[in-house]
Amino acid sequence: MSAHGHGQGVGHEAPHFTLQGYVTGFLLSVLLTALPFWIVMAKVFANPAVTAAVILGFAVVQIVVHMVYFLHMNPKSEGGWTLLALVFTIVLVVIAISGSIWVMYHLNHNMMPSAEVMRTAP
């Protein structure tokens, strides 16, 4: 047995989490939630597509804030395995979302009656 104890490897440092880091993450999360809410409620942008794009941008930034400040993910943690798990998760989410949208589009296209059928219906 080593002097370090059971299950501890040489060169592994325990991550240090500070209250300041958690407070910073919390404040950023609140800000990144409140700003999109205000953008929608105040109708800041006239074009809904622009509003959706801005909110999507805020969502991506908030995901990064959560990963850094709360999940403590970075390329150095756990020998890079957390980053690999993140990439795998992103690939699965993109496949699931794009597949769902594709299925819903085709169901809508194939199942909705045409305008001619709707006019001739009693």
pLDDT at 118: 67
Nearest to 86 by CA among 115, 66, 111: 66
Domain edges within the chain = 7-72, 78-122
Separation CA 22–CA 27 (nearest Å): 9
What mean pLDDT is predicted for residues 39-43?
95
Q: Is the model's pTM score more than 0.85?
A: no
**H or E element in which residue 4 lies:** none
> What is the amino acid identity at position 6?
H
Neighbours of 10 (CB within 10 A): 6
pLDDT digits (tens, 9 = 90+) for 98-121: 999 899 888 888 886 666 666 776
